[in-house]
Amino acid sequence: MSKQTMPFRFVYRILQIAMALIPASIGSLGFLNDLSNFQGGVKNLVVPLVTMAGDTKNFTWRALPPSLAPYLYTLMFCAEFVTGILAVIGIVMMIKNFLKSSIAFERSKHWIYIACIWGTLVWGLGFFEGAGDWFLAWKSKNATISGLQLGALMGVIELFFVFFYLKYCRESDLELQ
C-alpha cells in the first residue's frame, strides 16, 4: 500500500466504526429505556397495544390477554438488546483489526451486518408489522402507541443505511490496497 492511500484507508475505517455505533446505540439505548421504566412501559404501552384498547372493536379477535404484557415487553427489550450486543462485538472486532489487512477488517464487520439484519427483524417484523399492523397501533388514540410504526420505520431505515454503507466501504477499502 502506498503512503498516499494510507490516510484514506484510516479515514474509511474510522467512519465505518462510527457508523457501527448506530445499531449499537439503537439496541443498547432501547434496552436501557425499556428497562428504566418497566412497569410504566407495560402499563402505558404494551397492555393497551396487545389488548387493542381503543378504536379497534372489529379486530379484537387479534388481542392478547393483558397478563402476557410483561412477558412480551421483556421479550421485546431483550431482542433490542441483542442488536446492541452484536453491534458492540462488531465494533470491538473492527477496532481490534483496525491496523490489520483488508480481509481481517472485512471479516470483523460481519457482526455489524448480523446486528443490522437482526435489528431489522426486531423493528420491522416486531414493531412495524406486529405492533403496527397486527395490533393496529396506527389506529390507537394513545399517542405513545400511534407513533410506533413511524419510530420502527426510522430504526429500520437507519439499520439499512448502516448495512449498505459498510458494504459499500468494503469495495473502497479493498481498492486502496
pLDDT tens string 41-78: 999 889 999 998 876 678 888 899 999 999 999 999 99
Domain residue limits at 117: 6-175
Beta-carbon contacts of residue 72 (< 8 Å; ≥ 6 apart): 46, 50, 64
Residue 34 backbone phi and psi in degrees, to 5: -65, -40
| CA angle, 156 then 162 then 165, to 5° | 135
Residue 128, in any domain of the structure: yes
Per residue in 105-148, pLDDT (tens digit) is: 999 999 999 999 999 999 999 999 998 888 888 888 887 788 88
Residue 47, in any domain of the structure: yes
Q: Please say if the pLDDT value at position 4 is more than 80.
A: no
Residue 1, in any domain of the structure: no
CB burial class (10 A; 0-12, 13-18, 19+) of residue 69? buried
Residue 148, in any domain of the structure: yes
Domain count, the chain: 1
